[in-house]
Structure 1
Amino acid sequence: MNDWAELDRFLRTDPRDVGCEEAMAMLHVYVELAAEDPAEAERRHPGIAAHLRACGPCDDDFEGLLAAITE
């Protein structure tokens, strides 16, 4: 087994991706904005949006918080 798949995933990482730590620190702000206007949330916080597209666990947290405040 080789690491080509891991390397390919790394090379496709959006350079705007802020990483887990920063995304989690600002997730509450992003969620509240996304609940009102998802396009505006992505426009104002492109690094968080890029991270959520790439990181399943962080996206799960986002979806859970979004559901909690919209349901």
Structure 2
Amino acid sequence: MNDWSALDRFLHTDPRDVGCGEAMEMLHVYVELAATDAEAAERRYPGIAAHLRACGPCTEDFEGLLAVVRESPR
């Protein structure tokens, strides 16, 4: 069975995508902003937002950190 939609997504990577390295380097900053205003995080860091839309493993890291930030007392 072929998964053409996954291949299509791979071949049409957003040119703003910063890649795993830069996304992971700035993920803690992105998470802090996204915890209070997700739209502001996407506007301020469009390359990270583009990467998270395309990369499952990085998205899992983002969601895990976001859950921790939202659960911790401020």
- For normalisation by structure 1, the TM-score amounts to 0.87
Q: Would you say 1:35 and 2:71 are equivalent positions?
A: no
Q: What does 1:50-61 correspond to in 2, within 5 Å?
A: 50-61=50-61
Identify the residue that residue 14 of structure 2 maps to in structure 1: 14
Q: Partners of 2:9 and 2:69 in 1: how far apart?
A: 32
Q: Partners of 1:22 and 1:65 in 2: how far apart?
A: 16
Unaligned runs of 5+ in 2: none
Identify the residue that residue 70 of structure 1 maps to in structure 2: 70
Identify the residue that residue 47 of structure 2 maps to in structure 1: 47
Q: State the percentage of identical aligned residues.
A: 79
Identify the residue that residue 25 of structure 1 maps to in structure 2: 25
State how many pairs are aligned: 69
Task: Provide the alpha-carbon RMSD of the alignment.
Answer: 1.7
Q: Partners of 2:21 and 2:68 in 1: how far apart?
A: 22
What amino acid does structure 1 have at the position aligned with 2:28? H
What amino acid does structure 2 have at the position aligned with 1:40? A
Unaligned runs of 5+ in 1: none
Q: Partners of 1:42 and 1:9 in 2: how far apart?
A: 20
What amino acid does structure 2 have at the position aligned with 1:15? P
Runs of 4+ aligned structure 1 residues displaced above 6 Å come to: none
